[in-house]
Chains A and B, each alone.
Chain A
Amino acid sequence: MADLTTRFLGIESPNPFWLASAPPTDKEYNVRRAFEAGWGGVVWKTLGAEGPPVVNVNGPRYGVVHGADRRVLGLNNIELITDRDLETNLEEMARVKADYPDRALIASIMVPCEEAAWKAILPRVAETNADGIELNFGCPHGMSERGMGSAVGQVPEYIEMVARWCKQYYDRPVIVKLTPNITDIRKPAEAARRGGADAVSLINTINSITAVDLDRMAPEPTIDGKGSHGGYCGPAVKPIALSMVSEIARAEATRGMPISGIGGITTWRDAAEFMVLGAGNVQVCTAAMTYGFRIVEELCAGLSDWMDEKGYRSTADFVGKAVPNVTDWKNLNLNYVAKARIDQDLCIKCGRCYAACEDTSHQAIAMTPDRVFEVIDAECVACNLCVDVCPVENCIEMVPMEAGRVDPRTGRVVSPDHADWTTHPNNPMAQAAE
């Protein structure tokens, strides 16, 4: 069994799986149970400033997007930061950390964008002996209306400013949690780095309305006939999160900055995908909220088995390994030519490849009267749609053409050399090959 021990910002945890700041980490009872279940760490649900805590709605807080068998594909929430007293949270954090010194305990914080507010809370958090802090600049609902959460995360200057205060008044690692509700995720990450933050974590939730009640003409979740946009998370947001993580991992200005990956992680494979794209560890929420804390057993067992199979001895061995292969479109090899090939023994003759290609793509699949489906190489652009819609695994494959053969679609000989848009004659900005 591979050693899953992970050091992130110098904080050691027995595995790379932390629970994200969210309802599962709102109080001592939950966090103790999470640690007993095997989670490597938690980011304690966001603390607010001293004084009367925020209040939550008393109607539904969550909306959902279901698959056919009510599988939770996406979840949204309009819950605010902790609605419990600051003192209570701090006392509980200190107790839990003392009892579980080997687990990571990070405090998520959201206070007004004023130096005094941060200066006041940071020493209190330090007293709990928490391993670090995470700045909640992400929540897109409720708190953002009050100038906090994503309202800060959408302004890089604010991020930089607050990060700097935190590094000034707190001596342990500072993580900035980023909102995806922006146009370019690299900008806030750069700001965090400029402000001295040790790491970024992403993504926070995405602005969303999960559904509309067509009888009440109101968005869901509906509270007394009205609804408000919430933050979307769960498996549905994973592709967005993966892309954003990879952007920060490969951008020059943020390269090497530690990343805690968040967004729809449900199985070990999801976690591994985040980590090879540059995340040093991952945070999980929706999967735990759907299935309970025990899912960490599958996460650990699956990741460990995969590591053994691949010969990785620690998580550091594979973190960032796929980053060099994330590139700009302009660098993709235009001389790479593939053609779809249908395995007739596996084909069940549903015709989905035909319908998709004939109606919406390149008319590159022929159908005989007895339902045999064959690729027309002279039309196939290797778009992969047939592979994607085929219900049978491995039935349709994209087979690269060998160099030297003639592509029947273009009549051109397949070249063994790399050639991309940067040098393409159709590109007005093309540079002559040197």
Chain B
Amino acid sequence: MPAQPQTGQPGPIAGRLSADALAENFADLHPPLSAHEARVAADRCYFCHDAPCVTACPTEIDIPLFIREIQGGRPETAAREIFEANILGGMCARVCPTEVLCEGACVREAAEGKPVEIGLLQRHATDSLMARQGHPFTRAPRTGKRVAVVGAGPAGLACAHRLARHGHDVVIHEGAPKPGGLNEYGIAAYKSVDDFAAREAAWIMGIGGIELRHGQWLGREVTLDALREDYDAVFLGIGLGDVNALGLEGPEVEGMHDAVTFISALRQADDLASLPIGRDVVVIGGGMTAIDCAVQAKGLGAESVTLVYRRSRSKMGASGFEQDLAARRGVRLIFEAAPVAVEGEGRLSAVVFERMAEGPGGLLATGERFTLPADQMFRAVGQRLGDASGLKTVQGKVVTQGSGRTTMDKVWAGGDCAAGGDDLTVTAVAQGRDAAEDIHSTLTG
């Protein structure tokens, strides 16, 4: 149970909760399995023929095989199997919405509603291997080819690792001070405890042949034209840099923030007690980011946190597990309502919503309004590509075909910035890996 707020002062103010309460609220969401628990959990796997869980995994990890290797008492062998397909298997074990991927496809989910705990088993295996010294893969002989990877998020890291394995020299151009992308800056702290995103990025680069340059934002410190000039190939894994706007009526007030900024600040904070949080928090949006924001706002000690989504529950981007998590942690979920105005004098005091209805022609405003008191509001209504650097886009994302080829020669793209994905870490990894294979074939073909 999350600890209760100790102060009812309006805010945002820092230090609403004790250090103990904060530690409890931000503890590992899925504590790791012990070796014995892993053996028991692994024993439930049926080692299906042509297993549906593998089909459901965007990176097609051989799940029955790695689980069998855990059964055999070799979690490190299992981890190699996982990393062969997905070098970010450690993070994916923590953040994948397994209920709609591997575990959702598990035959035991169909049979008894209790799938094999694939996510936790994957974490057990990957943790075991990563806890050892050294990197499990070695590079092929150097090819002399140089590839630029823009962005050190899941797609970029997966691409860089695979290219380095094939013997190419890789330079990652990253704007932020740390690698990891959304793993480092964009997901809830309780999903990546103990600095896992940074440790994982460092471990991935342990293969060698990857140079990481910080402070290199595309379109500012580095341009696509220059990269195409300087390298044999370019991979863009730049994510979605800009946040969608809401366009609300009312005065300019303090207390309105982007959820991604809030999460990023929280993830980088040395002391969670130093973060100001409102007493009555409103979060707008229905995706994973909205949930991560709402649950963490509650975790910091907000008295009331209300997540408002304009469509119905079934349309929500966040998985059922995430919705339940939010409800369990005390977040109120309101569906089919959209913000129309803010109130306040200098500071935000309330948000006005209008009830929406799903009609055949789309979402309709009903005209019925209600007001929620709010001293802080977070927007989590989607992100969009910033500068497309001259690449063809569709719906604000880079158009690709095949294994991430863009319309521009020598340029590949993958991850959230590429059209056609699903904004999942695991999909970004698959796209980065597959683009690397395609780049490799192109450079050595």
Task: State the A residues within 8 Å of B (CB).
Answer: 67-70, 348-352, 354-355, 367, 371, 391-392
- List B contacts of A348 (CB < 8 A): 107-108, 110-111
> What is the bound-complex CA distance between A367 and B51, given in angstroms?
13
> What is the bound-complex CA distance between A70 and B39, given in angstroms?
10
B49, A351: Cβ atoms closer than 8 Å:
yes
Contacts A68-B71, A70-B36, A392-B111; is A350 near B43 (CB within 8 Å)?
no
Q: A348-B110, A351-B48 are in contact. List 14 more A-B contacts (CB 8 A).
A: A68-B40, A68-B42, A70-B36, A348-B111, A349-B48, A350-B46, A350-B48, A350-B49, A351-B49, A352-B49, A354-B49, A367-B50, A371-B52, A391-B111
Q: Considering only CB atoms, which chain B residue lies closest to A349 in the complex?
A: B107
A352, B39: Cβ atoms closer than 8 Å:
no
Interface-centre pick from A67, A348, A391 (highest chain B CB count, 10 A): A348
A65 to chain B, nearest CB (A): 14
> What is the bound-complex CA distance between A391 and B49, given in angstroms?
13
Q: Indicate if B370 sits at the interface (CB-CB under 8 A).
A: no
Per the 8 Å Cβ criterion, residues 20-42 of B in contact with A are 36, 39-40, 42
* A-B residue pairs in contact (CB < 8 Å), sample of 8: A68-B39, A68-B71, A69-B43, A70-B36, A348-B108, A348-B110, A349-B107, A367-B50
Q: Indicate if B321 sits at the interface (CB-CB under 8 A).
A: no
Q: Indicate if B47 sits at the interface (CB-CB under 8 A).
A: yes
> What is the bound-complex CA distance between A67 and B48, given in angstroms?
20
> What is the bound-complex CA distance between A68 and B40, given in angstroms?
5
B40, A349: Cβ atoms closer than 8 Å:
no
> What is the bound-complex CA distance between A355 and B64, given in angstroms?
13
Q: Considering only CB atoms, which chain A residue lies closest to B55 in the complex?
A: A371
The majority secondary structure among interface residues of chain B is helix
- List A contacts of B110 (CB < 8 A): 348-349
Listed from nearest, the 5 A-B pairs whose CB atoms lie closest are A351-B49, A68-B43, A355-B49, A348-B111, A350-B48
> What is the bound-complex CA distance between A244 and B51, given in angstroms?
41
> What is the bound-complex CA distance between A367 and B48, given in angstroms?
13
> What is the bound-complex CA distance between A354 and B48, given in angstroms?
10
Q: Considering only CB atoms, which chain B residue lies closest to A351 in the complex?
A: B49
Contacts A68-B40, A68-B42, A69-B43; is A351 near B50 (CB within 8 Å)?
yes
Q: Considering only CB atoms, which chain B residue lies closest to A359 in the complex?
A: B49
> What is the bound-complex CA distance between A348 and B107, given in angstroms?
6
B7 to chain A, nearest CB (A): 47
> What is the bound-complex CA distance between A67 and B40, given in angstroms?
9
A391, B36: Cβ atoms closer than 8 Å:
no
A391, B43: Cβ atoms closer than 8 Å:
no
Q: Considering only CB atoms, which chain A residue lies closest to B46 in the complex?
A: A350
B44 to chain A, nearest CB (A): 8
- List A contacts of B71 (CB < 8 A): 68
> What is the bound-complex CA distance between A341 and B297, given in angstroms?
56
- List A contacts of B51 (CB < 8 A): 351
> What is the bound-complex CA distance between A358 and B43, given in angstroms?
23
Per the 8 Å Cβ criterion, residues 165-192 of B in contact with A are none
Q: Considering only CB atoms, which chain A residue lies closest to B43 in the complex?
A: A68
> What is the bound-complex CA distance between A354 and B43, given in angstroms?
20
> What is the bound-complex CA distance between A58 and B51, given in angstroms?
49
Interface-centre pick from B47, B107, B110 (highest chain A CB count, 10 A): B107
A87 to chain B, nearest CB (A): 46
B50, A371: Cβ atoms closer than 8 Å:
yes
Q: Considering only CB atoms, which chain B residue lies closest to A68 in the complex?
A: B43
> What is the bound-complex CA distance between A152 and B212, given in angstroms?
77
A288 to chain B, nearest CB (A): 25
B45 to chain A, nearest CB (A): 10
Per the 8 Å Cβ criterion, residues 46-85 of B in contact with A are 46-52, 71
Partner of A352, one of B40, B47, B111: B47
A389 to chain B, nearest CB (A): 9
- List B contacts of A350 (CB < 8 A): 46, 48-49, 107
A394 to chain B, nearest CB (A): 13
- List A contacts of B50 (CB < 8 A): 351, 367, 371
Q: Considering only CB atoms, which chain A residue lies closest to B112 in the complex?
A: A348
Q: Considering only CB atoms, which chain B residue lies closest to A358 in the complex?
A: B49
A352, B46: Cβ atoms closer than 8 Å:
yes
